[in-house]
Chains A and B, each alone.
Chain A
Amino acid sequence: MEPIISIRDLSYKYYRSDDYAIMDVNLDVNRGEFVAIMGPTGAGKSTLCLTLNGSIPKILSGTFKGTVIVNSLNTLEETVQKLASQVGMVFQNPNLQLFCFDVESELAFGPENLGVEREEIRRRIREVVKLLRLEGLEKRSPAELSGGQKQAVAIGAALTMNPAILVLDEPTSNLDPIGTKQIFEILKRLKSQKDITVVMVSHKSEEIAEFVDRVVIMDKGKITLNDIPHRIFEQKIVEEKKYIRPPQVSEAIYKLKQRGYKFDKTPVTLEEAYKIIKEYLEKNNVKKKEPIPISEEKATKPIHTEKEPIIRVRNLWHIYKGNVVAIKNVNFDIYPGEFVAIIGQNGAGKTTLVKHFNALLKPTKGFVMVKDYDTRVKRVSELSKYVGYIYQNPDDQLFAESVEDEVAFGPRNMGLSEEEVEKIVTEILENLHLSHLRKEHPISLSLGDRHRVAVASVLAMKPEVIILDEPTTGQDFMGSREIVSLTNELNKQGKTIIMITHDMYLVAEYAHRVIVLSQGEILLDGSPREVFSKPEILAQTFIEPPQITKLSQKLGDFGFPPDILTVDEFCDVFGKIVSGGA
């Protein structure tokens, strides 16, 4: 069978860029296949996507070599709009791709432009609404929908054009865990019910392993691996782990093999892993027993013995205009030196909550105390000495002419002398390995470096509390790791860390404490172990525990604790259980 996408010797260099974004790419995709593209930032994944509907080189001109054939059309010979009916595109940012008044208009927009008959448009809308389970949302404004629903609408808007191929560029990176899973499920359904070919860029290893047919890995503009998930995650990537994170279950089996346990196969999904381990345990006559939570064995002592809280939140309400209740009567304390993760579904009120800590938002009712300061009467600029705020998007917080000016901005505003400022800037740039970029313009740096400059500029003010709002969104595996280990380092130096995130793997590994928000209220507040051992409650706010925790919970009959947090912990427990100990 002829492939539906056929890329031959494709190289592309953006206008005025020195390097090729993609080089000598050859790729075939068969009709009805679901292909995931993975790889670090700057690998050329988005560029490759944009060549599939002719946006490159039709809209973004540059040096283009090679050919791209989609559904027997050469992209160089067709207009983007003609290709639009063949290749549906879904982008990362839902807000930029939804621009109509209501969901129905959004779904109609594509076929309208193609001049499809009105009756036919109506029929397609009905079909897509049913397929994507958007019933009841037709007349709603896209702005009112959750992140997951918005992306579902964006997918629907592409589908009503009846494309043979759907291309998605990191559609889930802004979504909560269950929203992410729903998008993958939708794509799988499309594949089976409509025979649509799906090409998707994503970093989410667990979902990729479960749903896709083939994984393509890119690095530095080239395709480095192209295989089925089983072979990709079996060993190749686990060995080159720096590159891409394998699903936790694959990593667990790999590590168990290293410890000398014999497994014939490497699982890539939770179900497979469960089956393989269960068989192993039964074969080795491991008896069933009651699971004992780890937290009961080693009672983790709270970090805040004898200390005064650094942040106190009392009866906090925040009501936006239009009577939108964002925070509903929230109470808690944060103690010096804690690493607190704030999690919850899109729109749960996480950002609204933390913006109260440096007075960017004022309470509608109740109050927030930072040290001895009431945020109702303190100004943001005054509180900034104590509470540093790092935004998700570094570009929102970089505005100086050079890296050194950027870092010096805060200390200068605090009224420090030029010598002191100079000393701080040199020290911070040194610590964050940015000294060589001192004179550069922040905007000219790479995403990872921009993020480090943003962190540096906040650290320069020596705040005791550091708030990070989804610091790893849009970062690749390496980038996320780097940010989080830097944060962890700061925490060890005594800084209080408050981090909003959807990345449960990071929460499990680093946080001391997890606050789970749902619709403006605190659903759970405890250690990661306590929180992740209550999957039913987490599901209410679209959160799932890490995969390894879920695996351990599934194996509860064999005495696996419900509050495993890391792969290494799982391997340790496995060892004890197999040897009859524990």
Chain B
Amino acid sequence: MSSRGYVLYFEGDTLIHKFDPRTKIILMLYFVALAFIFNHPIHLGIVLLVALAIWFYAKIPMREVSTVYKYVYGTLALIIVIQALAFPEGLEILRLIPPNPLLGNVGALTVDGIVYGIAISERILIIMLIGPLVIYTTPLDRLILGMIKLKVPYTLTFIMSTALNLLPSVQIEVKNIQEAQMARAFTKLETGSFTERMRAYIPLMVPLIVSEIRSSMLLSLAMSARAFGVAKKRTFYHEIIMTTKDKVTVAVLIISLAILVYLRVFYGFGYYERLSDLLRILW
């Protein structure tokens, strides 16, 4: 029983669910902004924890969190290692490549490098958590309304909504093709090693891309046939209303962001250049 468009929404009646989509979009931008103004692993860590806390608060199944993580594990590990090795200065732990004219100081595992790598990973995680959070707690059509009301250009809204509509179908399609492979005595999906299972995704690409192009074509035909994007002035049958709670939340977000930016710019809050700075805070 496949269905599109609704699969990405987890019903609930928490405050997050009740927020106006605009509030949630602003909340998302807020977290993205925080992820970029801080580079300190502890500050970023706190932001990450808050994002996770909202996930739990919104009662999104834990399975979904782990899905998000599943795809980034390897990438994050790689980022930490590369950053650790590539960071040109700081306290050396282990030198792999001696300093040379070509690479300069690069090639040593430094504490600063590791810390920097962790910080970047945290940034990525924050963004990867907060995007789905908004999508999982907002019905797609309300999210589209929110974007339209926030004056996001029509083309962008259309691309976003199409992509979100097709996402569940990609999942279903992958599952179908994998089932078909297993049903043809393909054992690697069930018993193979991690790399074997990963390699098994390669033959999926062609049928998947073909079918998604087909689906997105049909979807765009269906949406234009219902006049999506025609009028300059669109009616909103379900008025989305900014309640007092929404207004207060948005105000808090904007003011706190302003304060944090101020602290960051003038006092270096959440920012470090060298390990010595970090140690100073820890001590």
Pair from one complex = yes
What is the interface of chain A, defined by CB distance below 8 A to chain B?
50, 53, 55, 59-60, 79-82, 84-85, 87-89, 91, 93, 95-101, 104-105, 108-118, 121-122, 141-143, 157-158, 161, 347, 358, 360, 379-382, 384-385, 387-389, 391, 393, 395-400, 409-410, 413-414, 443, 457-458, 461
Least CB separation from B181: chain A residue: A399
* Given A112-B234, A113-B226, A141-B6, residue A99 in contact with residue B140 (CB < 8 A): yes
Determine which residue in B5, B211, B227 has the highest number of CB atoms from chain A within 10 A of its CB, and name it: B227
* Given A101-B9, A101-B142, A118-B237, residue A96 in contact with residue B218 (CB < 8 A): yes
Least CB separation from A415: chain B residue: B185
In the complex the two chains form, what is the Cα distance from A220 to B151 in whole Å? 47
Of residues 209 to 241 in B, which have CB atoms within 8 Å of A's CB atoms? 210-211, 215, 217-238
Q: In the bound complex, do residue B187 and residue A347 qualify as a contact, i.e. CB atoms below 8 Å apart?
A: no
Besides A100-B139, A110-B227, A381-B187, 5 new A-B residue pairs in contact (Cβ under 8 A), listed by A number: A81-B227, A112-B234, A143-B5, A358-B183, A409-B181
Q: Which A residues are in CB contact (< 8 Å) with B141? A: 99-101, 105, 109
Of residues 222 to 262 in B, which have CB atoms within 8 Å of A's CB atoms? 222-238
In the complex the two chains form, what is the Cα distance from A267 to B227 in whole Å? 42
Of residues 60 to 116 in B, which have CB atoms within 8 Å of A's CB atoms? none
Q: Which A residues are in CB contact (< 8 Å) with B169? A: 95
Q: Per a CB cutoff under 8 Å, which of A95, A101, A379, A382 touches B4?
A: A95
Q: In the bound complex, do residue A116 and residue B235 qualify as a contact, i.e. CB atoms below 8 Å apart?
A: yes
B1 within 8 A of A: yes
Least CB separation from B61: chain A residue: A321
Q: In the bound complex, do residue B177 and residue A113 qualify as a contact, i.e. CB atoms below 8 Å apart?
A: no
Minimal beta-carbon separation of A38 from chain B (angstroms): 22
In the complex the two chains form, what is the Cα distance from A106 to B228 in whole Å? 12
Label chain B's interface by main secondary structure. helix
Q: In the bound complex, do residue A95 and residue B3 qualify as a contact, i.e. CB atoms below 8 Å apart?
A: yes
Q: Which B residues are in CB contact (< 8 Å) with A60? A: 217, 221
In the complex the two chains form, what is the Cα distance from A79 to B228 in whole Å? 12
Minimal beta-carbon separation of A443 from chain B (angstroms): 6
10 A-B pairs within 8 Å (CB atoms) are namely A55-B221, A93-B218, A97-B219, A99-B5, A109-B141, A113-B226, A115-B235, A143-B7, A396-B207, A457-B184
B180 within 8 A of A: yes
Q: Per a CB cutoff under 8 Å, which of A81, A87, A110, A381 touches B182?
A: A381
Q: In the bound complex, do residue B177 and residue A396 qualify as a contact, i.e. CB atoms below 8 Å apart?
A: yes
* Given A81-B228, A109-B141, A112-B234, residue A391 in contact with residue B191 (CB < 8 A): no
> What per-residue 1/0 map shows which CB atoms of B1-25 lie under 8 Å from chain A?
1111111010000000000000000
Q: Which B residues are in CB contact (< 8 Å) with A112? A: 234-237
Q: In the bound complex, do residue A399 and residue B226 qualify as a contact, i.e. CB atoms below 8 Å apart?
A: no
Q: Which B residues are in CB contact (< 8 Å) with A117? A: 235
Q: Per a CB cutoff under 8 Å, which of B2, B7, B203 touches A399?
A: B203
In the complex the two chains form, what is the Cα distance from A98 to B224 in whole Å? 13
* Given A59-B221, A400-B203, residue A109 in contact with residue B226 (CB < 8 A): yes
In the complex the two chains form, what is the Cα distance from A358 to B183 in whole Å? 7
In the complex the two chains form, what is the Cα distance from A6 to B212 in whole Å? 34
* Given A399-B181, A414-B185, residue A55 in contact with residue B237 (CB < 8 A): no
Q: Per a CB cutoff under 8 Å, which of B173, B228, B232 touches A396?
A: B173
Q: In the bound complex, do residue B235 and residue A384 qualify as a contact, i.e. CB atoms below 8 Å apart?
A: no
Least CB separation from A411: chain B residue: B185
In the complex the two chains form, what is the Cα distance from A80 to B140 in whole Å? 23
B56 within 8 A of A: no
Q: In the bound complex, do residue A396 and residue B4 qualify as a contact, i.e. CB atoms below 8 Å apart?
A: no
Minimal beta-carbon separation of A573 from chain B (angstroms): 41
In the complex the two chains form, what is the Cα distance from A143 to B204 in whole Å? 27
Q: In the bound complex, do residue B179 and residue A360 qualify as a contact, i.e. CB atoms below 8 Å apart?
A: yes
Q: In the bound complex, do residue B210 and residue A443 qualify as a contact, i.e. CB atoms below 8 Å apart?
A: yes
Determine which residue in B173, B181, B185, B191 has the highest number of CB atoms from chain A within 10 A of its CB, and name it: B185
Q: In the bound complex, do residue A80 and residue B207 qualify as a contact, i.e. CB atoms below 8 Å apart?
A: no
In the complex the two chains form, what is the Cα distance from A192 to B232 in whole Å? 35
* Given A96-B215, A384-B183, A384-B185, residue A121 in contact with residue B190 (CB < 8 A): no
Q: Which A residues are in CB contact (< 8 Å) with B215? A: 96
Least CB separation from B187: chain A residue: A381
Least CB separation from B222: chain A residue: A97
Q: In the bound complex, do residue B5 and residue A84 qualify as a contact, i.e. CB atoms below 8 Å apart?
A: no
In the complex the two chains form, what is the Cα distance from A189 to B16 in whole Å? 44
Q: In the bound complex, do residue B233 and residue A381 qualify as a contact, i.e. CB atoms below 8 Å apart?
A: no
* Given A347-B1, A399-B207, A400-B203, residue A84 in contact with residue B6 (CB < 8 A): no
Q: In the bound complex, do residue B235 and residue A110 qualify as a contact, i.e. CB atoms below 8 Å apart?
A: no
Q: In the bound complex, do residue B230 and residue A84 qualify as a contact, i.e. CB atoms below 8 Å apart?
A: yes
Minimal beta-carbon separation of A470 from chain B (angstroms): 14
B121 within 8 A of A: no
Q: Which A residues are in CB contact (< 8 Å) with B5? A: 98-100, 143
Q: Which A residues are in CB contact (< 8 Å) with B226? A: 84, 109-110, 113, 157-158, 161
Minimal beta-carbon separation of A391 from chain B (angstroms): 6
In the complex the two chains form, what is the Cα distance from A91 to B214 in whole Å? 14
* Given A99-B165, A101-B6, A105-B141, residue A88 in contact with residue B225 (CB < 8 A): yes
B276 within 8 A of A: no
* Given A113-B228, A143-B6, A396-B177, residue A413 in contact with residue B222 (CB < 8 A): no
Q: In the bound complex, do residue A101 and residue B182 qualify as a contact, i.e. CB atoms below 8 Å apart?
A: no
Q: Which A residues are in CB contact (< 8 Å) with B177? A: 396-397, 399
Q: In the bound complex, do residue B187 and residue A114 qualify as a contact, i.e. CB atoms below 8 Å apart?
A: no
